Amino acid sequence: MEFIITNYKFSGKEWIKIQNDALKFLQENKNIKITQQSILDFAKNGLIAQEKQKLFHNQVSDKSSEKIFFMGIPENINSSVAELSFDLKTYFVNYDYLNQINFDFEPQRKFNPDLNQEKINDFIKQYIEENRFKEIKTEQTIQTGDIVKCEFFDIKTQRKEQFELIAQETENHTVEKLLLNKKVNDKFEFKANDDFIIDVTILEVSYLKKEKLTDENVHKLGIQEITDINSLKIYIEKTVKEDILSNEIFNYGYGIIKQLYEQKLPFEFPEDLITSDIEGFAFDNNFQGDPRIVVLDSLAEYLWLNAISKKFDLMVHASEIKREEQKIKANLPIHQHKQINIKRIADGILFQKIGAIYLNKLDKNLYESVKENLVYKI
């Protein structure tokens, strides 16, 4: 693999300001012993990490580039109170190598969505019959199953957000458990760990009351497209088909990527790139497995996804990632939101788009028959 070297040098007022900012940050953390060396190390490491991300972002954002870039590797680092200098060594692969890849193959994993209309109709019927509307509770204490609207104030980030949670008994220490037996306007602190401490304010409490859906009450669903039972059935059917097809096209696309992985790369990843990524992964002592294998798989996955994106001119947009992120958040406890992996979301969207491309290429009639209910079309 080829590489380029980018040189960096920070001195004078700029470097002094960076060190002062590092000192202010360290002073906020009372568990760290502050020395001149700790200030210097914190400023150095933070700035190098920042410049790595900035360079990588600029390189991968350049649509005119004919290269696939990897994250830069810091080299020749020299730091003192007066100056910081370092190089970033960036490996890349020219797009010419795409000519050595066989993209024209029959996917082993077939596209076979279970769009059984009878099952969908049964689901719609059950949804209408078993519907439950939210009813507001005022004075009563919160009980298991109640829906609680809360405001979370993150002590560390100083950010406020609102969420709806289901109050319930849990084995672990959760917000959902602490909500029980409290009332509207009550406040309490929740600490998941040292990095996640929030002040919780209860804004509203409601419960679900069973009420069959009719033309007269569907407006209570609060969905603009739904005005009567007929429009409700159309909406539910579309949503169900979208979910089924999203899962199927994802698995189909992922199978295609796995087949691409089986092709031998025309080069080997350099040792310093592998070592740098192992350090970047920061494997802890409890990790079970071979870090080298994990990193090699990650590098290969990154390369193949970029290769196929270039081949078929695919992009994942911020609005698409945001949409998927919101769907995931709706099904996760609040303290797990920070664990959401944006890269995995982007990869998942890409798998669906890859699946759509191959389906359209290999079975255009089938693609056209499901296209209307695909979330990501070509």
Domain residue extents for the chain: 2-100, 132-210, 227-373
Q: In the chain, pLDDT over 90 holds for what percent of residues?
A: 58
Q: What are phi and psi of 22, to 5 degrees?
A: -65, -40
Q: Quick one: pLDDT at residue 226?
A: 94
First-residue to last-residue Cα distance in the chain: 32
Q: Across 323-327, 333-337, 359-363, which has the greatest mean pLDDT?
A: 359-363
**Structure confidence at residue 34 (pLDDT):** 86
Q: Do domains 2-100 and 132-210 have the same CATH topology?
A: no
pLDDT of residue 240: 94
Q: Given this model, what pLDDT does residue 335 score? A: 61
- Mean pLDDT to the nearest integer, 298-303: 87
- Candidate CATH numbers 3.10.50.30, 3.30.360.10, 3.90.550.10, 1.20.1090.10; the one for domain 132-210: 3.10.50.30
Secondary structure percentages of the chain, helix, strand, coil, to 5: 50, 20, 30
Instruction: Give the Å distances, CA to CA, from 337 to 91, 196, 262, 279, 329.
Output: 33, 11, 34, 25, 6
Look at residue 371 and tell me whether its pLDDT is greater than 90. yes
Non-local (6+) Cβ contacts of 256 within 8 A are 107, 109, 354, 355, 358
- Asked if 207 contacts 134 with a C-beta cutoff of 8 angstroms, the reply is yes
Reported as a pLDDT band with limits 50, 70 and 90, residue 163 is confident
Percentage of residues in the chain with pLDDT exceeding 70?
A: 99
Q: Would the pTM of this model clear 0.85, i.e. be above it?
A: no
Give the Cα separation of 162 and 198 in Å (integer): 12
With tokens 């360079």, the residue in question is 55
Inform me whether the pLDDT recorded for 333 exceeds 70. Answer: no
Lowest pLDDT segment from 67-71, 82-86, 301-305:
301-305
| 236-290 tens-digit pLDDT | 999 999 999 999 999 999 999 888 888 877 788 999 999 999 988 878 778 888 8
Band of residue 334 on the pLDDT scale cut at 50, 70, 90: low
Q: Identify the CATH assignment for 2-100 out of 3.40.50, 1.10.3470, 2.60.120, 3.30.70.
A: 3.30.70
pLDDT (tens digit, 9 = 90+) per residue, 182-204? 999 999 999 888 778 899 999 99
DSSP 130: T
Q: Alpha-carbon distance 96 to 314, whole Å?
A: 18
